[in-house]
Amino acid sequence: MISEQEKSFVNLVNEHQGLIHKVCNLYETDRDARNDLFQEVVLQLWKSFHTFRGDSKITTWMYRIALNTAISGLRKQKRGLQTEDLNERHFNISDSSSDQQEENLQKLQWSIRQLSEIERAIIMMALDEIPYDEIAETIGITQNNVRVRMNRIREKLRKLMNP
């Protein structure tokens, strides 16, 4: 028999799974790795679910756990062997023909992946139109620091996209 807490958690994950997928897509390029990260994020959310007090928005809490899980996983990976997808990065080979918009989107995604872990988190939340005060709360920095970092991130992305 499923408890009320379990039902509530499943509903929460179903309602906000897009948020989790965005984090997974931003920090993992391989489909299997993204799926593993998604499962790990859900597990960490479940482990922390009973501690959520409602002091912040549920999505802010979810972002914090998802980002912390992704970033800690990324740090573990960096200690191990690193590989690259040669098709995407070096040769620009795609499986299907794409128009200019798809190309720009892929270039933007590649550029975002070149940013630091924290910069990726900030830009992802900004692209989701999350207010700076919530970004600051989630990341654990001041709102002014978010503004400064956003300006630097925009400049880095401009340089990466238009070398």
Give the model confidence (pLDDT) of 37-58 as tens digits.
999 999 999 998 888 877 778 8
CATH code: domain 1-83 is 1.10.1740.10
pTM exceeds 0.85 for this model: no
Instruction: Give ranges for CATH 1.10.10 in the chain.
Output: 96-163
**Under CATH, what is the fold of the domain 96-163?**
Arc Repressor Mutant, subunit A (1.10.10)
List Cβ neighbours of 161 (8 Å cut-off, separation of 6 or more).
107, 108, 111
**76 band by pLDDT with thresholds 50, 70 and 90:** low
89 pLDDT above the threshold of 50? no
- Positive or negative, the CA dihedral 123, 118, 38, 24 is positive
Residue with tokens 């300006």: 151
Q: What is the DSSP letter of 131?
A: -
Instruction: Give ranges for CATH 1.10.1740.10 in the chain.
Output: 1-83
Pick from 37, 107, 109, 147: nearest CA to 135? 147
143 pLDDT above the threshold of 80? yes
Distance between CA atoms of residues 11 and 15, nearest Å:
6
Give the Å distances, CA to CA, from 95 to 98, 101, 130. 9, 16, 34
Pick from 29, 11, 16: nearest CA to 109? 29
What type of residue is 86? L
Distance between CA atoms of residues 30 and 43, nearest Å:
20
What type of residue is 112? I
Distance between CA atoms of residues 158 and 56, nearest Å:
33
The pLDDT of residue 82: 47
Q: Are 163 and 133 in contact (CB under 8 A)?
A: no
